[in-house]
């Protein structure tokens, strides 16, 4: 209901819309309209009310509500079904439940904050309220389960392109799932899958983008390793604009994959990579070794030249740090 009210007010521009018109259009009472307007004001919408004239929207808060997103969204199918929450433990956890209940492909789940955001290898993710973009995307692709890890690479390419186009910030991708700026983590991606032997039931791609977090708001233990777009640019970034740009890029990349396979996406990923060509340390479950990251293969695995042989490193079972850096 509130999303529909906002859509009508936006279309009216500078003109006032009467409560009677809104009530008739939405088949509710004028009192119900007034209550929704009050609730919107409490959420931060600046709505001017005039007796006999009605309502006019002056400005909107930077919320990731369906109404705000739909006003900017340009995709054909990604993000057309939006599940919005003020707070969840993890957008991936809730998205799994939605996927199990047959949520349509392209559904996104957005939360203004996460109480227990999930990172790779069971790490947490700092997700303060209204300071970042914390969302998960549900896909139901027709490719084989062994290709699912490449969805992380797809998301990294899409997010990197969107950040560059919206903010001008030149970010790079660290294999397999981080986006960095000058060595500091800006974005984390977590892909999870439910599948059978030769069929994917669903894929959840969880994405966390640090947008308007100040240096002081970052927990002290990660201040030296994490950053945000606000810290980089010195100005607040519209989360709605950035999210819609990310969804547009994701949809474009996903369509390419369905029509041409992953090869074009892997080529783009290599252009953004800050891992390839670097001397790195690979920390596995059973072994640790050094080498030079020389390429990724057709399945998205990292190829590392140790000097003796080429090691094939799979996403999900290692951590990577620059060679010589201490491991905590």
| Distant-in-sequence, close-in-space partners of 78: CB < 8 Å, separation ≥ 6 | 106, 108, 137, 247, 248, 250, 251, 254
86 annotated as belonging to a binding site for a ligand = no
The enclosing H or E element of 269 equals helix 263-272
278 annotated as belonging to a binding site for a ligand = no
Of 325, 292, 288, the residue nearest 308 (C-alpha): 292
Distance CA 158, CA 272 (A): 11
90 annotated as belonging to a binding site for a ligand = yes
Cα end-to-end span (Å), the chain: 50
91 annotated as belonging to a binding site for a ligand = yes
How is residue 81 annotated by DSSP? S
Cis, peptide link before residue 103, omega less than 30° from 0: no
**Dihedral of alpha carbons 283, 288, 289, 294, sign:** negative
**272: helix, strand or coil:** helix
Distance CA 175, CA 321 (A): 10
Q: Which residues are annotated as a binding site?
A: 90-92, 114, 185
Q: Which residues are annotated as a binding site for biotin?
A: 90-92, 114, 185
């Amino acid at each position: 209901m509130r999303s529909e009210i906002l859509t009508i007010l936006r279309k009216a521009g500078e003109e006032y819309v009467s409560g009677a018109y809104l009530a008739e259009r939405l088949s509710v009472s004028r009192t119900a309209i007034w209550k929704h307007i009050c609730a919107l004001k409490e959420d931060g919408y600046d709505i001017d009310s005039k007796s006999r004239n009605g309502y006019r929207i002056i400005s909107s808060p930077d919320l990731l509500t369906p109404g705000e997103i739909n006003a900017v969204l340009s995709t054909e199918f990604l993000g057309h079904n939006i599940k919005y929450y003020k707070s969840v433990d993890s957008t991936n956890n809730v998205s799994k439940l939605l996927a199990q209940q047959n949520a349509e492909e392209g559904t996104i789940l957005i939360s203004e904050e996460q109480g227990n955001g999930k990172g790779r290898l069971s790490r947490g993710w700092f997700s303060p309220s209204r300071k970042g973009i914390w969302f998960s995307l549900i896909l139901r692709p027709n490719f084989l389960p062994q290709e699912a890890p490449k969805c992380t690479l797809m998301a990294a390419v899409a997010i990197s392109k969107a950040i560059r186009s919206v903010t001008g910030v030149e970010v790079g991708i660290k294999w397999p799932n981080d986006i960095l700026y000058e060595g500091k983590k800006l974005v984390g991606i977590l892909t999870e899958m439910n599948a059978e032997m030769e069929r994917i039931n669903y894929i959840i791609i969880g994405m966390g983008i640090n947008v308007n977090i100040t240096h002081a708001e970052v927990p002290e233990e990660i201040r030296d390793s994490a950053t945000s777009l606000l810290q980089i640019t010195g100005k607040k970034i519209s989360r709605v604009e950035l999210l819609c740009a990310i969804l547009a890029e994701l949809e474009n990349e996903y369509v390419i994959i369905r029509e041409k396979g992953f090869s074009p996406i892997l080529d783009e990923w290599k252009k953004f990579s800050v891992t390839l060509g670097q001397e790195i340390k690979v920390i596995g479950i059973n072994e640790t070794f050094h080498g030079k990251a020389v390429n990724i293969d057709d399945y998205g695995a990292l190829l590392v030249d140790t000097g003796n042989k080429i090691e094939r490193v799979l996403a999900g079972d290692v951590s990577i740090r620059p060679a010589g850096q201490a491991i905590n």
